[in-house]
A and B are shown apart, each in its own frame.
Chain A
Amino acid sequence: MRADENLSGDAGQHLDEMTCLLYIERQLDRARAQEVSAHTQECAACRTLLRALERESRLLTRAMLEEEEALPARLAQFQERARRSMQWIWTVAFGLAATGVYALYTGYIEPWQTELEKAGFGGSNLLSLLIFQGAFWKGWQPMITLLEVLALVTVAGFALAFFRKRVRRGSALALVLTGFCALLLQPASVMASETRHAESVGVAQDEVIKGDIFLFGNRVRVDGTVEGDVFLFGQNANVNGHVKGDVIAFAQMLDVNGQVDGNVRAFTNTLTIRGTIAKNVLTFDELMNVESGGKIGGSLTLFVENLNLEGTVGKELFMFGKHLMLSGKVDGEIKMKGDLMTIESSAQVGSPIHFEGNKEPEVSPQAKLASPVDYHKSEHKPHYMEGHYYVWQVIWLAAFVLFGLVLFQLMPKFAAEAVASAERYGASFGLGVLVFFGVPIAAVIACVTVVGLFVGISAFFIWYAALYFAQLIVGALVGQWLMGRTQETWPLIGRMAVGIVIVRLATVVPIIGGWVKFGVMLWGLGAISLALYNRFQPTLTASAPSGPYMPPPLPPNTTVGGMQPA
Chain B
Amino acid sequence: MSAPGKPEPTGAISRARTGDADAWGELYREYAPAIFRFCRRALPTREDAEDATMDIFAKLMRDNRLQQYDQSRSFTAWLYKVAANHCWDTLRRRKTRQDKETEDLENVPLEHPDPNQLDRLIEQKTSEEVRRALDKLGSRARMALVMRYYSDMSYDEIADALGVRRAFVGVVLLRARHELRQALGQSGALAAGGAT
> B125 at interface (Cβ–Cβ under 8 A)?
yes
From A18-26, A277-285, A460-468, the one touching the partner chain is A18-26
Determine which of A17, A78, A551, A559 lies in contact with B152 in the assembled complex, contact meaning CB atoms within 8 Å.
A559
Determine which of A12, A67, A556 lies in contact with B196 in the assembled complex, contact meaning CB atoms within 8 Å.
A12
Judge whether A551 and B28 touch: CB under 8 Å: no
- A-B contacts, 20 of them at CB < 8 A, read A3-B170, A15-B112, A17-B110, A17-B111, A17-B113, A22-B170, A45-B112, A46-B112, A56-B177, A61-B149, A63-B127, A69-B37, A72-B36, A72-B50, A78-B28, A78-B53, A549-B33, A552-B76, A553-B6, A555-B2
Query: Which residues of B1-47 are within 8 A (CB) of A?
Result: 1-4, 6, 15, 20-22, 25, 28-34, 36-37, 40-41, 46
What's the Cα separation between A167 and B65 when bound, in Å? 38
What's the Cα separation between A66 and B125 when bound, in Å? 14
Q: A52-B119, A557-B149 are in contact. Are A60 and B130 (CB under 8 A)?
A: yes
Question: How far apart are B188's CB and chain A's nearest CB, in angstroms?
Answer: 15
Judge whether B107 and A1 touch: CB under 8 Å: yes
Chain B residues at the A interface, C-beta cutoff of 8 Å: 1-4, 6, 15, 20-22, 25, 28-34, 36-37, 40-41, 46, 50, 53-54, 57-58, 61, 76, 105-113, 115-116, 118-119, 122, 125, 127-128, 130-131, 134, 145-146, 148-152, 155, 167-168, 170-171, 173-174, 177, 180, 193, 195-196
Contacts of A488 in B (CB 8 A): 22, 25
What class of interface size applies to chain A in its complex with B? 35 or more
Judge whether A550 and B33 touch: CB under 8 Å: yes
Question: How far apart are A81's CB and chain B's nearest CB, in angstroms?
Answer: 9
> A41 at interface (Cβ–Cβ under 8 A)?
no
Determine which of A22, A52, A491 lies in contact with B115 in the assembled complex, contact meaning CB atoms within 8 Å.
A52
What 1/0 flags go to A19-48 for Cβ under 8 Å of B? 001100101000000000000000001101
Judge whether B131 and A63 touch: CB under 8 Å: yes
Contacts of A52 in B (CB 8 A): 115, 118-119, 122
What's the Cα separation between A65 and B151 when bound, in Å? 9
> A373 at interface (Cβ–Cβ under 8 A)?
no
> A51 at interface (Cβ–Cβ under 8 A)?
yes
Determine which of B1, B20, B125, B173 lies in contact with A21 in the assembled complex, contact meaning CB atoms within 8 Å.
B173
What's the Cα separation between A230 and B35 when bound, in Å? 69
What's the Cα separation between A74 and B53 when bound, in Å? 11
Contacts of A63 in B (CB 8 A): 127-128, 130-131, 134
Contacts of B6 in A (CB 8 A): 552-553
Question: How far apart are B69's CB and chain A's nearest CB, in angstroms?
Answer: 16
Query: Which residues of A57-84 are within 8 A (CB) of B?
Result: 57, 59-72, 74-75, 78-79, 82
Query: Which residues of A484-509 are within 8 A (CB) of B?
Result: 484-486, 488, 491
Judge whether B195 and A79 touch: CB under 8 Å: no
Judge whether A13 and B171 touch: CB under 8 Å: no
> A335 at interface (Cβ–Cβ under 8 A)?
no
> A386 at interface (Cβ–Cβ under 8 A)?
no
Chain A residues at the B interface, C-beta cutoff of 8 Å: 1-4, 6-7, 9, 11-18, 21-22, 25, 27, 45-46, 48-49, 51-53, 55-57, 59-72, 74-75, 78-79, 82, 484-486, 488, 491, 549-560
Contacts of A558 in B (CB 8 A): 152
Contacts of B110 in A (CB 8 A): 6, 9, 11, 16-18
Contacts of B15 in A (CB 8 A): 484
Question: How far apart are A89's CB and chain B's nearest CB, in angstroms?
Answer: 15
Judge whether A551 and B37 touch: CB under 8 Å: yes
Given contacts A13-B196, A49-B112, A484-B22, 8 further A-B contacts (CB under 8 A): A7-B167, A27-B170, A51-B119, A55-B122, A59-B122, A60-B145, A82-B58, A552-B6
Contacts of B112 in A (CB 8 A): 11-12, 14-17, 45-46, 49
Determine which of B22, B116, B150, B168 lies in contact with A65 in the assembled complex, contact meaning CB atoms within 8 Å.
B150
Judge whether A66 and B127 touch: CB under 8 Å: yes
Question: How far apart are A483's CB and chain B's nearest CB, in angstroms?
Answer: 9
Contacts of A484 in B (CB 8 A): 15, 20, 22
What's the Cα separation between A27 and B150 when bound, in Å? 18
Which residue on A lies nearest to B29, using beta carbons?
Answer: A549
Which residue on B lies nearest to A48, using beta carbons?
Answer: B115
Judge whether A45 and B22 touch: CB under 8 Å: no
Contacts of B116 in A (CB 8 A): 48
Determine which of B36, B53, B150 lies in contact with A64 in the assembled complex, contact meaning CB atoms within 8 Å.
B150
Which residue on A lies nearest to B2, using beta carbons?
Answer: A555
